[in-house]
Chain A
Amino acid sequence: DIVMTQSPDSLAVSLGERATINCKASQSVLDSSNNKNYLSWLQQKPGQPPKLLIYWASTRESGVPDRFSGAGSGTDFTLTVSNLQAEDVAVYYCQQHYNTPPTFGGGTKVEI
Chain B
Amino acid sequence: EVQLVQSGAEVKKPGTAVKISCKVSGHSFSDHYMHWVQQAPGKGLEWVGFVDPEDGETTYAEKFQGRVTITADTSTNTLYMELSSLRSEDTAIYFCATIDFDHWGQGTLVTVS
A residues near B (Cβ < 8 Å) are: 40, 42, 44, 49-52, 55, 61, 93, 95, 97, 100-107
Contact = CB atoms under 8 A, between A and B. Distances in A.
A63 to B, nearest CB: 11
A52 B102 contact: yes
9 contacts: A42-B45, A42-B101, A49-B106, A50-B104, A61-B102, A93-B44, A102-B35, A104-B45, A106-B44
Q: Lowest 4 CB-CB distances: which A-B pairs, in order?
A: A49-B104, A104-B45, A52-B102, A107-B44
Size band of the interface chain B makes with A: 10 to 19
A100 B52 CA distance: 14
B11 interface: no
Which has the most chain B C-beta neighbours within 10 Å: A44, A50, A107? Answer: A50
Interface string B50-79: 000000000101100000000000000000
A103 B49 CA distance: 11
A75 B27 CA distance: 32
A52 B95 contact: no
B107 A103 contact: no
Contact of B100 (A97, A100, A103, A106): A97
A3 B30 CA distance: 30
A49 B101 contact: no
Contacts of A102: 35, 47, 101
B101 A52 contact: yes
A101 B50 CA distance: 10
B46 interface: yes
B44 A97 contact: no
